A and B are shown apart, each in its own frame.
Chain A
Amino acid sequence: MDSKAYLDMSLLRFTTAGSVDDGKSTLIGRLLYDSKSIFEDQLEAITETSKRKGDEQVDLALLTDGLRAEREQGITIDVAYRYFATPKRKFIIADTPGHIQYTRNMVTGASTANLAIILVDARNGVLEQTLRHTYIASLLRIPHIVYCINKMDLMGYEEKVYENIKKDLQELSRKLEIEDAQYIPISAKFGDNVVDESTNMNWYKGTTLLSLLEHIEIAEDRNLVDGRFPVQYVIRPQQDKHHDYRGYAGRVGSGTFRVGDKVKVLPSEFTSEIKAIDFYNDEIDEAIPQQSVTIRLKDEIDISRGDMIVHADNPPQVSTNFSIDICWFNEKPLDPSKKYLIRHTTNELKCMIKSVNYRTNIETYEKEQGEIIKMNDIANISVMTAKPMFFDSYKNNRSTGSVILIDEGTNETVAAGMIN
């Protein structure tokens, strides 16, 4: 092995949606097993447990079901994170339960994903849950969706089966304005088109799932245009040596920041110029999305956490009124008379609910009326914040278009929101 090769590896985060019946655990098990990411002692432990439960085959789901309650009930309750790597990429899987009541987990897993794998059982074709999973992937704007049409072995590996399901899925993608959708016929159980090419489906000319995961271009999914740098923390060393040092620490939300760029600070609207970009004890010329750096400005301006440094010629929207699509997470329904905290980038504000506009049925995609928003509901609401917020639409900018709502009484995160 070349000990330096890892310096060229990239990272891909993906989420998997589907239920145990779709063979999701088998698929993940297959990816981990065939990429040699399962260790002997792990395999031993789950073989032992499977035997004790009286299962004939090793239940690969035991790898992902980590909690006692999950193993006892044979269901997945919470998002489980799994890791594997090939020489090209490191992968983070957010494995989300497929049950109807766990929409919140799917939303959570989807929020950071570059790609979603949605499993479709070749015997059943597009079901309600396929509609649900696709809706959530599109709502959260996951850039790439890969439909794995699984259990092809049970349908005689027939091209027509695949083509019919693909046609239905394409229609769905059009309806939801999904930009990139791909369709792979697989058998997770026998490994067809997962890691190795299938010899049973010569009519399929596309790539295997793993090859797709390894090669799909994700760098271009980032927003490299709108410069947004939410200030996270102000670094002011209390040492004589660094007496005049004042650095604004944060993670680039979107856009590219270069030394010499003209910037504006929100909400104060002061303008200045980037003097330096620090990365530990190095000064760099340019920072791109997701990089944690420290920015220093030419002028001394009063800046604190929650402020945002943006390109002077391309500011975000500034307003106290906007509407958001929310997914409600809490057992207590949304209370329109209550004030909630809205957390957005590194900022936190109070907000009130102006109106509940509609609820979306995630199986028919129809808008329904009704004030009551319960756990796992998807709805559109209008809010008013106590102070102006600076944001972009989620459609254009995942980092400055996303919010969570917090109940001040319980401190719980009660909703995820995407700004329209």
Chain B
Amino acid sequence: MTKTINRNHLRELESEAIFIMREIAAQFERPVLLFSGGKDSILLVHLALKAFHPAKIPFSLLHIDTGHNFAETIEFRDNLAKKIGADLIVGSVQKSIDKGRVTEETGVEASRNKLQTTTLLDTLEEIKADAAIGGGRRDEEKARAKERFFSHRDAFGQWDPKNQRPELWNLFNGRKNVGEHFRIFPISNWTEMDVWQYILMESIEMPSLYFTHKRQVFKRNGTWLAAEPYMQLKEGEEIVEMDVRCRTIGDVTCTGLSLSTADNLEDIVIEVAAARETERGGRSDDKRSEAAMEDRKKEGYF
């Protein structure tokens, strides 16, 4: 029997993403892969491994660490980098605060989410990265639905959504002036469902946070949040222990947890299929205003 690649929508999305990975390697001098420890960035690493096999992936991993990450995320990150033999660069938001580049928000709902942008742009400049590969997907959020695969950023790291380069066929134009860079999104066309189905199909190892576990949590604005030491409780908020899992992983301050008993990938796929809220529904960073994502993206956010 002839051995071929099985054909389905996941394989098509995979081929497209691998094509983009190879374009990045061919068109840029110092690309980095933005690694957050979440499923989308783990998927990017997997696709990069496939694109360049048997060679190592030609990108370093860059993690912008808010200092408010789940311990599991950091551990998973370090192990993965070691396993694939990739360079790991960590940009620290704490350092940006210490250096006075940014000012920490105050109050109970303080988050370092917005501060990450400065740390990210400073780090990209420091390591002279000319392309940053991100796991952004167009189905996630309405501003992201307008994003290109190859998204141009000016010398200040800014995105100009009204003046984007047209992208046609398989022809990607990564030309730029010195000091400018590109954000590149190989999994633009994937949905949350595609991501989980693919992870299941490929049996990709995932952090334990995605599977059900017992955790100390409290409820705020209808969302369950992890009761980590730096989370300040408001009056009336109570810490309880629940069976939860993460649907997305960001930093602790803005990651909503869902009550779930899913302990394997099949169950997660079924859960995602039945979900009636988008995955970013639990992300308080998006809820600050209707254009919260667009505004952050224009400034240079992920």
Chain A residues packing against B (C-beta within 8 Å): 1, 3, 6-11, 39-42, 45, 49, 63-69, 71, 77-83, 85, 89-90, 92, 104-105, 107-108, 111-112, 232-233, 235-239, 241-242, 245, 249-251, 278-288, 290-294, 305, 329, 341, 343-346, 398-399, 402-404, 406, 411-413, 416
- Asked if B145 and A82 make an inter-chain contact with CB atoms under 8 angstroms apart, the answer reads yes
Nearest CB in chain B to that of A346: its residue: B26
For window 1-24 of chain B, which residues contact chain A by CB distance below 8 Å? 2-16, 18-19, 22-23
Nearest CB in chain A to that of B276: its residue: A40
- Asked if A411 and B173 make an inter-chain contact with CB atoms under 8 angstroms apart, the answer reads yes
**B54 interface hit (Cβ, 8 Å):** yes
Interfacial chain B residues near A412, Cβ < 8 Å: 165
> Could you list 5 A-B pairs, sorted by A, with CB under 8 Å?
A6-B10, A290-B12, A292-B16, A404-B169, A404-B171
Which residue among B139, B141, B201 has the maximum number of chain A CB atoms within 10 Å of its CB? B139
Nearest CB in chain A to that of B23: its residue: A232
- Asked if B145 and A64 make an inter-chain contact with CB atoms under 8 angstroms apart, the answer reads yes
* Complex partner residue of A41 from B53, B188, B273, B281, CB under 8 angstroms: B281
Interfacial chain B residues near A10, Cβ < 8 Å: 7-9, 12
- Asked if A3 and B169 make an inter-chain contact with CB atoms under 8 angstroms apart, the answer reads no
Nearest CB in chain A to that of B11: its residue: A291
* Complex partner residue of B189 from A40, A83, A286, A345, CB under 8 angstroms: A83
- Asked if B12 and A41 make an inter-chain contact with CB atoms under 8 angstroms apart, the answer reads no
- Asked if B273 and A11 make an inter-chain contact with CB atoms under 8 angstroms apart, the answer reads no
> Which segment of B34-42, B88-96, B191-199 sits at the interface?
B191-199
Interfacial chain A residues near B266, Cβ < 8 Å: 3
Interfacial chain B residues near A403, Cβ < 8 Å: 171
- Chain A to chain B: the 6 pairs with minimum beta-carbon distance, closest first: A66-B142, A237-B55, A292-B18, A411-B175, A11-B9, A111-B168
- Asked if B8 and A6 make an inter-chain contact with CB atoms under 8 angstroms apart, the answer reads yes
CA of A416 to CA of B171, assembled, Å: 10
- Asked if A290 and B15 make an inter-chain contact with CB atoms under 8 angstroms apart, the answer reads yes
Q: A66-B142, A280-B50 are in contact. Are A11 and B275 (CB under 8 A)?
A: no
CA of A83 to CA of B202, assembled, Å: 22
Interfacial chain A residues near B23, Cβ < 8 Å: 232
For window 251-275 of chain B, which residues contact chain A by CB distance below 8 Å? 266, 269-270, 273, 275
Interfacial chain B residues near A65, Cβ < 8 Å: 142
* Complex partner residue of B54 from A40, A90, A242, A251, CB under 8 angstroms: A242
Interfacial chain B residues near A245, Cβ < 8 Å: 54-55
B interface residues, how many (CB within 8 angstroms): 71
Interfacial chain B residues near A346, Cβ < 8 Å: 26
CA of A92 to CA of B141, assembled, Å: 15
CA of A80 to CA of B139, assembled, Å: 10
Chain B residues packing against A (C-beta within 8 Å): 2-16, 18-19, 22-23, 25-26, 49-56, 138-139, 141-146, 161-162, 164-171, 173, 175-177, 188-189, 191, 193-194, 197, 200-201, 266, 269-270, 273, 275-278, 281, 290-291, 294
Interfacial chain B residues near A249, Cβ < 8 Å: 22, 51-52
- Asked if A232 and B19 make an inter-chain contact with CB atoms under 8 angstroms apart, the answer reads yes
Interfacial chain B residues near A288, Cβ < 8 Å: 4
- Asked if A90 and B170 make an inter-chain contact with CB atoms under 8 angstroms apart, the answer reads no
Q: A232-B23, A406-B175 are in contact. Are A85 and B15 (CB under 8 A)?
A: no
Q: A64-B145, A85-B193, A290-B12 are in contact. Are A284 and B5 (CB under 8 A)?
A: yes
- Asked if B170 and A399 make an inter-chain contact with CB atoms under 8 angstroms apart, the answer reads yes
State the majority secondary structure of interface residues on A: mixed
CA of A85 to CA of B281, assembled, Å: 20
Which residue among A81, A112, A238 has the maximum number of chain B CB atoms within 10 Å of its CB? A81
Q: A45-B290, A66-B145 are in contact. Are A242 and B171 (CB under 8 A)?
A: no
Interfacial chain A residues near B141, Cβ < 8 Å: 66
CA of A159 to CA of B171, assembled, Å: 44
Interfacial chain B residues near A108, Cβ < 8 Å: 166-168
- Asked if A251 and B143 make an inter-chain contact with CB atoms under 8 angstroms apart, the answer reads no
- Asked if A67 and B146 make an inter-chain contact with CB atoms under 8 angstroms apart, the answer reads yes
CA of A233 to CA of B22, assembled, Å: 6
Nearest CB in chain A to that of B2: its residue: A285
CA of A65 to CA of B142, assembled, Å: 7
- Asked if B173 and A343 make an inter-chain contact with CB atoms under 8 angstroms apart, the answer reads yes
- Asked if A66 and B270 make an inter-chain contact with CB atoms under 8 angstroms apart, the answer reads no
CA of A85 to CA of B12, assembled, Å: 15
Q: How far is the CB of A24 from chain B (nearest CB, A)?
A: 16
Give 19 A-B pairs besides A78-B164, A286-B2, A411-B177 with Cβ atoms closer than 8 angstroms: A3-B266, A7-B10, A8-B8, A39-B275, A41-B281, A66-B143, A67-B143, A78-B161, A83-B138, A107-B166, A239-B54, A239-B55, A242-B55, A343-B171, A404-B168, A404-B169, A411-B173, A412-B165, A413-B168
Interfacial chain A residues near B171, Cβ < 8 Å: 343-344, 402-404
CA of A68 to CA of B159, assembled, Å: 14
- Asked if B9 and A287 make an inter-chain contact with CB atoms under 8 angstroms apart, the answer reads no
- Asked if A292 and B277 make an inter-chain contact with CB atoms under 8 angstroms apart, the answer reads no
Q: How far is the CB of B279 from chain A (nearest CB, A)?
A: 9
- Asked if B19 and A411 make an inter-chain contact with CB atoms under 8 angstroms apart, the answer reads no
Q: How far is the CB of B95 from chain A (nearest CB, A)?
A: 32
- Asked if B269 and A90 make an inter-chain contact with CB atoms under 8 angstroms apart, the answer reads no
Interfacial chain B residues near A239, Cβ < 8 Å: 54-56
- Asked if A281 and B53 make an inter-chain contact with CB atoms under 8 angstroms apart, the answer reads yes
Q: How far is the CB of A243 from chain B (nearest CB, A)?
A: 11
Interfacial chain B residues near A81, Cβ < 8 Å: 138, 145, 188-189
Interfacial chain A residues near B281, Cβ < 8 Å: 39, 41
- Asked if B142 and A292 make an inter-chain contact with CB atoms under 8 angstroms apart, the answer reads no
Q: How far is the CB of B31 from chain A (nearest CB, A)?
A: 13
Q: How far is the CB of A16 from chain B (nearest CB, A)?
A: 14
- Asked if A287 and B294 make an inter-chain contact with CB atoms under 8 angstroms apart, the answer reads no
* Complex partner residue of A112 from B5, B14, B169, CB under 8 angstroms: B169
Q: A66-B143, A67-B143, A111-B169 are in contact. Are A278 and B53 (CB under 8 A)?
A: yes
Interfacial chain A residues near B200, Cβ < 8 Å: 3
